Structure 1
Amino acid sequence: MRSRSIAWRLALAFAVVCALVLSAIGVFLYRSLDSEIAYRDDLALLGRLEQVRALLADSDSLGALQARPRLYQNMLGNLDSLLLVRRADGSNVIAINPRQRELPPLNAIAREQTPQRRDVLTWQAPDGAELALLSGEAQGPNGEPLTVIAGKVLTEREQMLASYRLRLYLAVGLGALLAFALGLVLLRRGLQPLRQLSAAVRGIDLRSLDQRLPASGTPAELLEPVQAINGMLARLDDSVQRLSQFSADLAHEIRTPLHTLLASNGQALNHPRSTAEYQELLASNMEEFERLKRMAENLMFLARAEQAERALDLRTLELHEVGNELCDYFEALADDRNIRLENALHGELLADQQLLQRALGNLLANAVRHADESTLISLRRRDEPGVCWLQIHNHGPVIAPEHLGKLFDRFYRVDPSRTQPGDSGGLGLAIVQSIMLLHGGQVRVSSDASGTVFELGFVLSQ
Structure 2
Amino acid sequence: MSKSIAWRLALAIALTCALVLSVIGVFLYRSLAAELAFRDDQALLGRLEQMRALLHDSDSLTALQARPRLYQNMLGNQDSVLVVKRQDASQVIAINPHRQVLPQVQPIALDRAPARDDIQTLDSLALLAGMAQGPAGESLSITVGKRLDEREHILASYRLRLYAAVILGGLLAWGLGWLLLRRGLRPLRELTQAMRGINPRSLDQRMPVDNVPTELKEPLQALNAMLMRLEGSFERLSQFSADLAHEIRTPLHNLLGSNSLALNQSRSPAEYQDVLASNIEEYERLNRMAENLMFLARAEHGQRPLNLQSLNLREMGDELCDYFEALAEDRQLRLGNQLHGSLTADLHLLQRALSNLMANAVRHAEAGSNVQLISRSDPHHQWVGVHNIGPPIDPQHLDKLFDRFYRVDPSRAAPGDSGGLGLAIVRSIMQLHGGDVEVRSDAQGTVFELRFLRQPASPSNAC
Which whole-Å CA distance do the structure 1 matches of 2:33 and 2:236 have between them? 79
Q: How do 1:62-461 residues align onto structure 2 when only pairs under 5 Å count?
A: 62-124=61-123, 130-270=124-264, 273-461=267-455
Looking at structure 2, the residues matched to 407 and 202 of structure 1 have their Cα atoms a distance apart, in angstroms, of 36
Q: Which amino acid aligns with 2:43?
A: A
Structure 1 match to 2:56 = 57
Q: Work out whether residues 332 and 367 of structure 2, in 8 Å CA contact, stay in contact via their aligned partners in 1.
A: yes
Report the Cα offset of residue 363 of structure 1.
Answer: 0.1
CA apart distance, 1:276: 4.4
1:36-89 residue CA offsets vs partner (Å, 9 max, x unmatched): 001100111111112112222222211111111111111111121011111122
Q: Which range moves more in the overlay, 101-110 or 50-59?
A: 101-110
Deviation at 1:291, TM superposition (A): 1.9
Q: Deviations over 1:330-367 (max 9, x none)?
A: 01111112211111222222222111111000000111
In 1, are the aligned partners of 2:369 and 2:389 still within 8 Å (CA)? yes
Q: 1:261-282, CA deviations, whole angstroms, 9 ceiling, x for partnerless residues?
A: 3333333334555554444443
Q: Percent identity?
A: 67
Partner of 2:2: 3
- More off after superposition, 40-49 vs 195-204: 195-204
Residue aligned with 1:206, SS: coil
Q: Determine if the alignment matches structure 1 residue 48 to structure 2 residue 20.
A: no
Q: In the TM superposition, what whole-angstrom CA distance separates every residue of 1:372-419 from its partner, at most 9, and x where no partner exists?
A: 122221112211222211011111111111111111111111111212
Aligned residues: 456
Structure 1 residues 100-109 or 191-200, which shifts more? Answer: 100-109
Using the size of structure 2 for normalisation, the TM-score is 0.94
Distance 2:447 2:89 in 1: 125
Displacement of 1:287 after TM fit?
A: 2.4
Q: How big is the shift at 1:324?
A: 1.4
Return the letter of the residue paired with 1:410.
R
Q: Which amino acid aligns with 1:268?
A: A
Tell me the distance in 2 between the aligned counterparts of 1:333 and 1:351: 27
C-alpha separation between the residues in 2 aligned to 1:218 and 1:380? Answer: 53
Q: Distance in 1 between matches of 2:397 and 2:102?
A: 112
Shift of the alpha carbon at 1:31? 0.7
Cα distance in structure 2, aligned partners of 1:63 and 1:264: 148
1:324 and 1:264 mapped to 2: Cα distance?
41
Q: Note the C-alpha offset of 1:423.
A: 1.1
Which digits, 9 at most, give the CA deviation of each residue in 1:159-179, with x for residues without a partner? 111111111111111111221
1:14 aligns with 2:13: yes
- For 1:400 and 1:333, how far apart are their aligned partners in 2? 26
Matched, 1:26 2:25: yes
Amino acid at match of 1:120: I
Read off the aligned partner of 2:42 and give its amino acid letter: L
State how far apart, in whole Å, the 2-side matches of 1:66 and 1:324 are: 135
Q: What is the CA–CA distance in structure 2 between the aligned matches of 1:282 and 1:108, rounded to whole Å?
A: 131
Distance 2:121 2:401 in 1: 100
Kindly report the root-mean-square deviation, in angstroms, between the aligned alpha carbons of the 2 structures. Answer: 1.7
Partners of 2:307 and 2:362 in 1: how far apart?
Answer: 28
Instruction: Name structure 1 gaps, 5 residues minimum.
Output: 125-129
Say which SS state the counterpart of residue 99 (structure 1) adopts: coil
The answer as to whether partners of 2:125 and 2:148 remain within 8 angstroms in 1 is yes
The farther-off stretch of 259-268 and 341-350 is 259-268
Distance 2:15 2:272 in 1: 91
Q: For 1:208, what is the secondary structure of its paired residue?
A: coil
Q: Could you tell me how far 1:369 is from its partner in structure 2? A: 0.9
Give how far 1:112 is off. Answer: 3.1
Deviation track 1:72-109 (CA, whole Å, cap 9, x = no partner) reads 11111112101111112211111111222332332322
Compute the displacement of 1:227 (Å): 1.5
Contact 2:354 / 2:385 at 8 angstroms: preserved in 1? Answer: no
Mapped to 2, the partners of 1:139 and 1:262 lie a distance apart of: 137
